[in-house]
Amino acid sequence: MSRASRVIAIVGAESTGKTTLAGELQAALQRDGRSVALVGEYLREFCDRHARTPRVDEQAGIAQEQTRRIAAAAETHDIVIADTTALMIAVYSEQVFGDRSLYDSAIEAQRGCALTLLTALDIPWQADGLQRDGPQVREPVTALVRAALARGRLGYSVVAGTGPARLSHALLAVRHALLEPSVLDEARANPRWQWVCERCGDAACEQRHWLP
């Protein structure tokens, strides 16, 4: 498996535990003896440096830098945990500015990831300065993320639950995604699990991890 294909991408609406989950995943995988890099959210760094949110003309540069940092980390580590990707910049560009121009490059970058984890909306919203717009944006943002992944025919796993259960769900998906190709092909042919919708609990309505 190539280094680029060992990127674990965490996406989701604001205040859904992406950063916490990223750190927990890094620590858990390091305990397995793996070399694991954690690439944080460049947007947060941008907002802290400029004391403001980005303009529409700055969005593409932020997305490109996020993708560049992930690729650089993949060159020197066995696994990269990406605490958000360019896909989220594209989603917020549409949500905030009505700009859909960043999707093609973001979806292409996402396609190189071994696994996309989508954080569910089952934990309470918390304020975080310039990084948060409010709990009312979480559902529409999640809908845009799902729609973008579907357009790109990109599989993803929903991570739900609280505390250790949330990490356990994520680790199950990660360890499955990092299986060797021959084992992974067998797992795809003989699935032994289902992904459950975080809203209604009906497994039949949640997008399966592997798209046809």
pLDDT tens, residue order, the chain (212 aa): 455 458 999 999 988 889 999 999 999 999 988 899 999 999 989 999 999 999 999 999 999 999 999 999 999 999 999 999 999 999 999 999 999 999 999 999 999 999 999 998 877 766 665 455 666 778 999 999 999 999 999 999 999 888 889 999 999 999 888 875 544 455 455 544 444 444 443 334 444 433 33
d(CA 171, CA 177): 10
Give the neighbor-by-neighbor strand order of the sheet with 7-11. Answer: 36-39, 79-83, 7-11, 115-119, 157-159
Q: What is the pLDDT of residue 176?
A: 87
Instruction: Give buried/exposed letters for 145-170 (b at 16+ CB in 10 A, else e).
Output: bbebbeebebebbbbbbeeeebbebb
Q: What is the pLDDT of residue 202?
A: 37
